[in-house]
Structure 1
Amino acid sequence: MTVIRAFFISLAVITLMTTTSASQIPRLQTGGTGDQVVAADGLSATLFAQRAGQIADMVRGDDGTLYLADRSGGRILRVIDRDMNGRADLMQPLPHRFDGPGGLAIIDETLFVSDRGGVWRIDPDGGTPVLLAPFANADISEDPVPLVALTSGMIRMGLNRRDGTASLIDVDALTGRADAVESAPGRILSFSRQAHPSDEAERDALGHDRLSWVILQRDGRTFAGSRLRSATPVASSATHLWLDPATGQALMGLTDRVSEARASFEGLSEPGRDILSGLNGGVGTMVTDVRGLFIAEPRRGRVWRVEAAKPETIKSEILKPESETDEVQGADGLPPPGAEKAGPESSQPALLRGSGIGQASQMGSASTMGPASKLPPAAPPSQTPTQIPTQQSEDDPD
């Protein structure tokens, strides 16, 4: 009996030690599958930022700083890359809390934030946020309110109302005057982001550096276009777009991947080659500059940076928890053909030059994507913000 009792005591001790040891091992919660993110051949993906909450939107400042809207935490996070080498040096929250921030826009380094209460104007370097356009009596749903900056100094936002209709509203960034552009049945998901021109001369040559397309859902289908009523069907799982008005090239954010597409007067093509796949936290806003393509992974609170792969890189890697150096790279380890020939003044990051999505549109120049909506003139400055229109004026364009 003494031997048997000693055996069971030893077994209990071993079991306890094994359980305790296992509980101390950090495990990545991936729903039972490995967290493997794969970049296309010739490209690499680096984890640029993480632990950013639920990323509802992302914008880029002229100095390369990324701003992230954490909807669940009510924070606006600033991700700083001081030397623009593609590695984040600092991520810090702005000293203000918002009520479910869902949209961001930036004009001349002034940041605009939409939350459940309205659109706020804020200086990222300090100062108290100003309520530019409140949502009182607008009858909006609980969906995030996406924003995009227009070249006229206007902020365009998408409102989803409780009656099942969606509205495009233009807000003057200085006065807060809000004018209805159009309304239509459906639910607005997001606005596109565009290629970032390298200098002012290039922006002037394009004529518009932020041509905004809208993605919306209606009757169980997904549509994209410059206006609600003229939007055309796209892949049903599309949620976000990146567009280059100069060439018509596009990237489409789907359920767990980013794929190539083409944009023209006729609409958006079907998804092509996958640029990045395996994003089990979803695909959010995409922005670009000379460092490459930045992709938000909303539910995982992460931002990826995709660029042309270096010769020594490999195709993919299982991510380690909370690592800031995990990379996923191209299979052949070679830069895409033609990438080394691109001039330093090109607006295309290395990712988009020669990667298969950098070819000029066969349909013409930037005008192939259609003109931006005609905007109303700005109102004189006022002391109080203007409430959001509840319906479209009869004189508004279709």
Structure 2
Amino acid sequence: MGEGVITVTVEWWGDVIRTTIPVKVLYNLTRVELSPQNVTLEVGDFIILSAAAYTDTDYNIIAQCNVSWEILWEGEAGVELEQQSCCRVKVTALHWGEGNVVARITYKGRDMVARSHILIPAPLTHLELKAQKKTLFIGETTRLFARALAADGSDITSKVVFVWNLKEGPGELNSSEDSALLTGTDEGVAVVAVSATYYSITLRNSTEISVARRPKLGGASIEVEKIVLKPGENTTLIVNVLDEEGQPFLLPFNASWSSDGGTFNSSTGRVVIFTPTTTGYVKVVVRITSEFGTSSANTTLYVKPPGEAGGEKVGKAGGEIPWALVAGAVLSLTVAIILLLYFYKERGRGRGPHALERSPRGKNPTSPPVPKEVTAYGIEQDNIQPAREGSTPPDYNTSAP
């Protein structure tokens, strides 16, 4: 509705007559608006919302309307309202959530509602970084994935801006949004970093990926629990695999076992149990295959015929000779040599039954011992007095009466 006046002027035979007529115009309210209609705020931020009411001729009559404000929010309201004027309100974000601020506009008994959608996103609190492989060989590639989580646990990866970079180490990095591809170019440790930005919050994370030279499979050997067996007695076999530098081969490989006289509890695996089915010498072979090369090893077991003694425990075996028997023979021979040397040594010292009768060098074995005395320093010396003039030296070779 609008108000005004109309002035009417009349001239008659030189006379001028003017009159004023008050006029009231009634408007028809057709639409209302609240702007901006969609708002995203971070906690602590605010915005001013403005309401408008229009007639069918797009005339804004909000000043002639009554406006009331309210909050429609799921759970506790995440915003606070402070009215600035009849058609303006200040909205302050208190905590993350989502809802609407509503302006209810009344004109001449007619009500209309305008809404503004308010989003207060949960802040970015966690950035995950994972790699498909943590160890690469030169020339290999691995893919890395980043994942962003908000304070409410929601996945906001698609809403985050990621920046990737290779901080240090060998490699080539190609990235696309939440993933990256690393190619190892030389030996060393590559450090890949990523940052994630969500509104005013930026988080960073990094991971290390080792790049190594591609190994080669070296030799293999068989460790045997028992190398001498009775018929039907089993033994445990273990294959040890080395790389080209003689170090334990720690990468996956396949072991295939075979024998010319026995069975295995499993034909594959690093550790197997072997049971012979014949007597005499039995050969066992294991073949190693891997993407890094092939190798093989063999050993010979001895299965005693019925009636012979049982098997002996040994540490390792890898040849075709029963080493336990050889070790026993060597030990017996060594003991015999030691005893022979000891016999001749004791005989030379005069302790044996045929000891030589020897006297001390430079002394007569039949002479009586020369008397000795102990000095003040505890040292024995010959008790021989110097001869006086006219005296006769004592005869130590004369026996006492």
Shorter chain as denominator, the TM-score bin is under 0.3
TM-score, normalized by length of structure 2?
Answer: 0.16
**Which has the larger Rg?**
2
The structure that is strand-richer by fraction is: 2
Structure number with greater CO (CA < 8 Å, separation at least 6) is 1
